[in-house]
């Protein structure tokens, strides 16, 4: 904006000091006014995308979009506080965000505009609609257009598996044996990163729950219980999640010893360096490994939590969905960019480049070798939405999962989640 | 309180001209010029607690990414690298974020000094009026008001008034400094003899003239103290700008440090270079003004 | 410093027949700004605590249900427990350390000016930034150091231990809060007339005895001020915790301020406004209690 203002002011008399202060103030005021307006003639829209792995990718897409037309200029935003933006009635004109608990408040309070009348809405794969509705729904509206679907399971180091002659496990007992083999060889079976709580929720928590329970049936029943969720209700966290959480605790024993102080970035680095055999992350991490170790061979398999291979399923989530807020004054411009992003050659390329699955009826199947291990489960619809993604964000489930991973006994924690659920039902 | 401090006899002959106006040695039991070496050494050892985090910030910032990631914070950079700064400079758009941080701080400092000096002058000269007295208590209450209670409604209001930008942040910074600053100024104004004011009035000066020509210059030492506190509170604030400013391109330096926790979580040298760039201006300002910080605060506390 | 009693201020005010309009003009901007930026938001917050608003969009009144839910919520009660306990410990740590350092820094030491400048320096460093620096030290450097030295209990990061993570927060908060506390204590200690010590020394009082019988009682007002201001600041702790533990492990270090801010991003706006309202009244009660105590004792 005015970088020259940053040079130190010359020796200050009070008067020059005040003048300088006034100038900076005026500069800021101008900057504040100028920012929303922008280049003459073109409509400037703000586009929110915060997924750290793909911010650069979208910058390239924005540049391409700017080349194709000159009426809409896109400003990317990756740092705004979304709730604050909605509260002050200045949300981004187009949002591109993970469709999970964090979207519930915007969808269910009717803050997102209806997109059912745009042509892209008809191209969406109907199988995905129930996934959207299970997370959040506003009756009579198409609040979001799903953009990218990811399937997550265990990522494993193919070279290490080969070197130690172990096969991909399909039952819990086999998994434990695999872990013992690596442990005996002095290799950490899993690399866990408890410092970033979302990684615990996404990996250990969701995989153990999804591998044992019918997640969507559980939450459907749970919603009918409302404020009555406790030890005596038909379903509850303390009854249904105890077994998966026990498994979680057992798996945590096979993790790196410093898991408690490692974060997502540390995990990506360590796994790419071959410091562990398995890593509970989604395909979004694959490109991060490539930054450290481009030649790395990674495979995927669903985490076996029971001894019945028929229970194997993968976790899916609508990794990115597009939406336009009701209060946006630039809906047409936003829709124009949305249509650009939804062009098959752009959307399919995004999903191929980022190891994700498409969301349209005509999306091609994935050819990525790292994802082949999941394709069959995906085709058979042997997948579930992550349980942690369906629990409202008022309940700090990732923190609870972290404390179980760190050794807390599951039952008191699960009782607390039941209580939180009942209180939330009471007040909403 | 008495003005004991500045009038006390210079009993500690061993010292040069005291910088902080405290030549009086309160525990002067021995008349000699001997230093208390055990205490000096103990204090020197304890400075490690201050210095280690700063040393770590400094060395980490000059490492290469490969060296920084080994986790050993105490080793010296080998090889010496300024890559971290180059990257942090672009990632935080340093010239711009620095200018915005400075702008917010300057508005906040100037606004705090002028507005609270105004209010303190009005209050202290009309203390016998209920309106002024109660206004004082009203402002004072803010010292005890927990900030989180207000933040979310402030987001709404600043949005309504189109102040969801650095100007709005500066205004809120001023508001939060008002209570404490009016308190300091009011206390200081008591020490200014009213006779001065009366003679100025006899010469026909208006209240505003009395303030600008007589009182405000006399308030200078306390203005320095108030200003320093306002600067620190504003420069280092993280919560307010992160919530209030809607345009991410207008964000201040401390808020931008967050991106290193997620997006660039493994480039520790870049993070630390950025931390250093956020810390350095305040530290430099402090090094040049520390004698006023010391004397201002100590005097303010005594008045 | 902080407490100005009416009698002190009014001592010299003569009796003007009319208050000049200028005085009102001087005071009004402050009152208006203050009312708009502080009082109005406070009232709005209380209003929303009786609704199910998420901060935008549709909402309706739900009476006191948020308050009922609040009082049975172990996470919220845990946040109160943590915040108050942490504040008490930190107030004690900060004041004892700062008081001792202030005594050291006012005694006959070599390099007094430089030492004072150094001890006050952390005051100018941003809380969130220094918390990130300490986060790195606690998560990476100290465990490495401990395993290199073979100190097993310290090999695990302090921040990852649910029972001890609060200690890390106390350390960093104290690191940042001690400097300003030292400044006020230095002022207080310097304000003690030196002849008091001389008389005590003639009576043969030891150094420890002088500290306990002279320095502590004569700086009581300053101690109270530091305790009041410190406690109030620690109750509002937010950015240092964000930078260190983000409320974890589990929810063990979630402060009240943090749960209020989190509620905002988590679609729990009205619920956390109820929490904020309760917090507000608790803070006022603590302030009144402290003022009451202060009025009795401090004549600063």
Nearest C-alpha of chain B: how many angstroms from C161? Answer: 19
CA distances to A150, A204, A410, A411 from A401, in Å: 22, 8, 9, 12
Terminal Cα-to-Cα distance of chain A (whole angstroms) = 44
Residue A156 domain flag: yes
Task: For residue B217, give the chain A residue with the closest CA.
Answer: A14
CA gap A14, A166 in Å, rounded: 76
| Contact criterion met (CB < 8 Å) for B165 and A24 | no
Confidence of residue A19 (pLDDT cuts 50, 70, 90): very low
Q: Give the nearest partner residue to B148 out of C6, C115, C236, using CB atoms.
A: C236
In this prediction, residue B264 carries a pLDDT of 63
| CB A286, CB A353: distance < 8 Å | no
Residue B221 domain flag: yes
In this prediction, residue C200 carries a pLDDT of 85
In this prediction, residue C13 carries a pLDDT of 47
Query: What are all long-range contacts of A15-22, with beta carbons under 8 Å and residues at least 24 apart?
Result: A18/B110, A20/B106, A21/B106, A21/B107, A21/B109, A21/B110
Looking up residue A117, the CATH number of its domain turns out to be 3.40.190.10
* A71 and A134, same domain (yes or no): yes
| Contact criterion met (CB < 8 Å) for A86 and C56 | yes
Task: For residue C175, give the chain B residue with the closest CA.
Answer: B50
Q: Which of A211-215, A342-346, B298-302, C215-219 has the lowest mean pLDDT?
A: B298-302
Chain A CB within 8 Å of residue C192 CB: no
Looking up residue B130, the CATH number of its domain turns out to be 1.10.3720.10
> Alpha helix (H) ranges present in A69-151?
82-87, 101-108, 119-123, 129-135
pLDDT at position B67 over 50: yes
Confidence of residue A84 (pLDDT cuts 50, 70, 90): confident
Residue B78 domain flag: no
Residue A12 domain flag: no
Residue B56 domain flag: no
| CB B23, CB B298: distance < 8 Å | no
Confidence of residue A1 (pLDDT cuts 50, 70, 90): very low
- Write the DSSP symbol of residue C14: -
Residue B20 domain flag: no
In this prediction, residue C297 carries a pLDDT of 52
Nearest C-alpha of chain C: how many angstroms from A325? Answer: 11
Mean pLDDT across the stretch B250-258? 86
* A165 and A144, same domain (yes or no): no
Task: For residue C73, give the chain A residue with the closest CA.
Answer: A420
* A171 and A244, same domain (yes or no): yes
Chain A CB within 8 Å of residue C156 CB: yes
Average pLDDT, chain B: 81
Residue A215 domain flag: yes
Mean pLDDT across the stretch A71-77? 92
In this prediction, residue B18 carries a pLDDT of 37
* A139 and A276, same domain (yes or no): no
Q: Give the nearest partner residue to C120 out of B15, B142, B293, using CB atoms.
A: B293
The pair of structure tokens assigned to C67 is 């308050």
Confidence of residue A12 (pLDDT cuts 50, 70, 90): very low
Buried b (16+ CB within 10 A) or exposed e, C209-218: ebeeebbeeb
Residue B151 domain flag: yes
| Contact criterion met (CB < 8 Å) for A393 and C267 | yes
Give CA angle at C132 (C131, C135), nearest 5°. Answer: 85
What's the pLDDT tens digit per position in C23-34?
999 999 999 999
pLDDT at position B9 over 50: no
Cβ contacts from A onto B, under 8 A: 102
Contacts of B106 in chain A (CB under 8 A): 20-21, 24-25
Which domain range does residue A306 map to?
152-316+377-427
In this prediction, residue A173 carries a pLDDT of 96
CA gap B216, A88 in Å, rounded: 39
* A306 and A405, same domain (yes or no): yes
* A102 and A250, same domain (yes or no): no
* A67 and A175, same domain (yes or no): no
| CB A324, CB A112: distance < 8 Å | yes
Residue A2 domain flag: no
* A143 and A286, same domain (yes or no): no
Average pLDDT, chain A: 86
CA gap A390, C276 in Å, rounded: 27
What's the pLDDT tens digit per position in B199-223?
888 888 888 888 998 899 988 888 8
What's the pLDDT tens digit per position in B18-34?
334 444 444 444 445 67
* A386 and A344, same domain (yes or no): no
CA gap B209, B204 in Å, rounded: 9
**For chain C, which residues score pLDDT lower than 70?**
1-19, 294-300
Residue A20 domain flag: no
pLDDT-above-90 percentage for chain B: 29
* A111 and A230, same domain (yes or no): no
Q: Which of A41-55, A64-78, B169-183, C148-162 has the lowest mean pLDDT?
A: C148-162
Contacts of A85 in chain B (CB under 8 A): 246
Task: For residue C137, give the chain B residue with the closest CA.
Answer: B73
What's the pLDDT tens digit per position in A140-163?
999 999 999 988 999 999 999 999
What's the pLDDT tens digit per position in B156-173?
899 989 999 999 999 999
In this prediction, residue C103 carries a pLDDT of 92
CA gap C276, C268 in Å, rounded: 12
Kindly list the partner chains of chain B, i.e. chains with 3 or more CB atom pairs below 8 Å: A, C
* A280 and A187, same domain (yes or no): yes
In this prediction, residue A406 carries a pLDDT of 92
CA distances to A25, B138, B180, B237 from B233, in Å: 18, 21, 12, 6
Contacts of B152 in chain A (CB under 8 A): 87
Which domain range does residue B133 map to?
96-252+280-302
Residue A125: CB atoms within 10 Å? 16
What's the pLDDT tens digit per position in A108-135?
888 999 999 999 899 998 888 888 988 8
In this prediction, residue A309 carries a pLDDT of 92
In this prediction, residue C10 carries a pLDDT of 44
Task: Tell me the three state secondary structure of residue A307.
Answer: coil
pLDDT at position B69 over 80: no
Buried b (16+ CB within 10 A) or exposed e, C139-156: bbbbbbbbeeeeeeeebb
Helix pair B268-302, B166-189: axis angle to 10 deg:
30
The pair of structure tokens assigned to A392 is 């409202």
Residue A325 domain flag: yes
pLDDT-above-70 percentage for chain A: 91
In this prediction, residue B300 carries a pLDDT of 55
What is the distance of C-alpha C260 from the center of its chain?
Answer: 17
Confidence of residue A14 (pLDDT cuts 50, 70, 90): very low
Q: Which residue has the tokens 């055990």?
A: B38
In this prediction, residue B23 carries a pLDDT of 41
CA gap A116, A137 in Å, rounded: 13
Residue B223 domain flag: yes
| Contact criterion met (CB < 8 Å) for C239 and B238 | yes
Domains and CATH numbers, chain C: 71-297 (1.10.3720.10)
* A256 and A341, same domain (yes or no): no
Residue A306 domain flag: yes
Task: For residue B179, give the chain C residue with the closest CA.
Answer: C34
pLDDT at position B112 over 70: yes
| CB A207, CB A303: distance < 8 Å | yes
Nearest C-alpha of chain C: how many angstroms from A114? Answer: 15
Q: Which residue has the tokens 């990522």?
A: A155
Number of domains in chain B: 1
Contacts of B17 in chain C (CB under 8 A): none
Residue B81 domain flag: no
Number of domains in chain A: 2
Residue B150 domain flag: yes
What's the pLDDT tens digit per position in A198-234?
999 999 999 999 999 999 899 989 989 888 888 889 9
pLDDT at position B175 over 50: yes
């Amino acid at each position: 904006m005015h970088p020259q203002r940053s040079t130190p002011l010359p020796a200050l008399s009070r008067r020059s000091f005040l003048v300088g202060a006034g100038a900076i103030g005026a500069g800021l005021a101008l900057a504040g006014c100028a920012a929303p307006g922008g280049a003459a003639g073109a409509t400037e829209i703000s586009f929110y995308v915060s997924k750290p792995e793909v911010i650069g990718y979208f910058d390239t897409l924005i540049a391409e979009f700017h080349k194709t037309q000159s009426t809409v200029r896109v400003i990317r935003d990756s740092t705004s506080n979304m709730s604050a933006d909605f509260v002050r009635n200045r949300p981004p004109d187009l949002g591109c965000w993970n469709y999970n608990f964090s979207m519930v408040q915007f969808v269910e309070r009717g803050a997102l505009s209806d997109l059912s009348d745009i042509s892209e809405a008809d191209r969406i794969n109907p199988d995905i609609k129930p996934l959207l509705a299970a997370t959040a729904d506003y009756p009579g509206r198409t609040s979001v257009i799903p953009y990218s679907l990811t399937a997550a399971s265990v990522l494993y180091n193919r070279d290490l598996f080969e070197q130690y002659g172990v096969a991909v496990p399909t039952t819990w007992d086999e998994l434990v044996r695999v872990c013992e083999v690596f442990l005996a060889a002095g290799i950490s079976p899993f690399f866990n990163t408890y410092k970033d709580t979302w990684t615990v929720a996404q990996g250990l928590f969701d995989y153990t729950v999804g591998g044992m329970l019918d997640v969507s049936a559980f939450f459907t029943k749970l919603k009918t219980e409302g404020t009555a969720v406790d030890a005596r209700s038909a379903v509850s966290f303390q009854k249904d999640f105890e077994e998966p959480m026990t498994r979680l605790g057992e798996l945590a024993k096979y993790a790196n010893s410093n898991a408690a102080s490692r974060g997502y970035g540390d995990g990506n680095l360590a796994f790419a360096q071959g410091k562990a055999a398995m890593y509970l992350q989604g395909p979004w991490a694959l490109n991060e490994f490539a930054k450290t170790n481009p030649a790395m061979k990674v495979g995927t398999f669903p985490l076996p939590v029971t001894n019945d291979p028929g229970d194997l399923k993968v976790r899916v989530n609508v990794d990115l969905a597009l939406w336009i807020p009701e209060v946006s004054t630039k809906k047409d411009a936003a829709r124009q960019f949305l249509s650009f992003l939804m062009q098959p050659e752009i959307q399919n390329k995004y999903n191929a480049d980022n190891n994700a699955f498409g969301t349209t009826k005509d999306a091609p199947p994935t050819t990525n070798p790292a994802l082949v291990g999941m394709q069959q489960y995906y085709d058979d619809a042997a997948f579930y939405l992550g349980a942690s993604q369906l629990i409202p964000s008022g309940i700090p489930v990732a923190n609870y999962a972290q404390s179980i991973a760190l050794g807390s006994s599951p039952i008191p924690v699960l009782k607390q989640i039941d209580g939180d659920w009942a209180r939330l039902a009471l007040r909403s | 309180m008495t003005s004991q401090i500045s009038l006390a006899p210079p009993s500690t002959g061993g010292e040069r001209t005291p910088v902080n106006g405290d030549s009086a040695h309160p525990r002067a039991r021995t008349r000699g010029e001997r230093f208390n070496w055990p205490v000096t050494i103990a204090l020197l050892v304890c400075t490690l607690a201050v210095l280690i985090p700063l040393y770590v910030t400094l060395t980490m910032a000059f490492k290469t990414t490969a060296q920084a990631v080994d986790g050993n914070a105490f080793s010296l950079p080998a090889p010496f690298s300024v890559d971290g700064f180059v990257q942090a400079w672009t990632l935080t758009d340093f010239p711009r974020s620095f200018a915005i941080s400075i702008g917010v701080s300057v508005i906040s400092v100037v606004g705090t000094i002028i507005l609270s000096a105004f209010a303190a002058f009005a209050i202290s000269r009309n203390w016998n009026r209920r309106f002024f007295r109660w206004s004082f208590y009203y402002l004072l209450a803010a010292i005890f008001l927990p900030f989180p209670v207000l933040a979310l409604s402030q987001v709404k209001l600043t949005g309504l008034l189109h102040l969801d930008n650095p100007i709005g942040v500066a205004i809120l910074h001023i508001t939060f400094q008002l209570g404490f600053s009016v308190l300091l100024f009011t206390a200081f104004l008591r020490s200014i003899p009213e006779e001065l004011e009366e003679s100025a009035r006899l010469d026909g000066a208006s209240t505003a003239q009395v303030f600008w020509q007589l009182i405000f210059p006399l308030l200078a030492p306390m203005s320095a103290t108030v200003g320093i506190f306002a600067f620190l509170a504003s420069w280092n604030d993280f919560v307010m700008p992160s919530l209030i400013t809607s345009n991410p391109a207008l964000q201040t330096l401390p808020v931008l440090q967050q991106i290193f926790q997620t997006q660039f979580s493994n480039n520790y040298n870049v993070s630390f270079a950025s931390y250093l760039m956020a810390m350095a201006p305040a530290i430099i300002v402090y090094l040049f003004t520390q004698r006023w910080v010391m004397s201002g605060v100590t005097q303010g506390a005594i008045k | 410093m902080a407490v100005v009693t009416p009698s002190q201020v009014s001592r010299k005010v003569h009796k003007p027949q009319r208050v000049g309009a200028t005085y009102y003009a001087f005071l009004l901007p402050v009152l208006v700004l203050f009312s708009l930026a502080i009082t109005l938001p406070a009232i709005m917050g209380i209003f929303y605590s009786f609704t199910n608003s998420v901060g935008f969009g549709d909402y309706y009144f739900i009476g006191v249900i948020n308050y009922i839910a609040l009082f049975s919520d172990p996470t919220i009660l845990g946040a109160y427990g943590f915040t108050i306990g942490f504040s008490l410990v930190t107030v004690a740590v900060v004041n004892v350390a700062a008081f001792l350092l202030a005594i050291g820094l006012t005694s006959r030491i070599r390099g007094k000016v430089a030492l004072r400048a150094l001890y006050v320096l952390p005051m100018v460093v941003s809380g969130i930034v220094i918390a990130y620096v300490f986060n790195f030290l606690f998560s990476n450097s100290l465990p490495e150091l401990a395993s290199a030295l073979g100190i097993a209990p310290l090999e695990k990061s302090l921040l990852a231990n649910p029972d001890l993570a609060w200690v890390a927060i106390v350390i960093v908060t104290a690191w940042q809060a001690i400097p300003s506390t030292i400044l006020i204590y230095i002022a207080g200690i310097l304000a003690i007339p030196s002849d008091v010590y001389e008389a005590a020394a003639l009576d043969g009082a030891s150094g420890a005895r002088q500290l306990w019988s002279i320095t502590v009682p004569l700086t009581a007002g300053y101690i109270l001020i530091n305790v009041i201001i410190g406690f109030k600041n620690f109750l509002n702790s937010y950015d240092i915790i964000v930078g260190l533990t983000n409320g974890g492990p589990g929810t063990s270090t979630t402060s009240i301020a943090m749960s209020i801010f989190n509620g905002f991003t988590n679609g729990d706006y009205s619920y956390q406004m109820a929490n904020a309202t309760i917090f507000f009244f608790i803070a006022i009660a603590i302030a009144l209690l402290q003022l009451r105590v202060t009025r009795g004792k401090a004549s600063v």
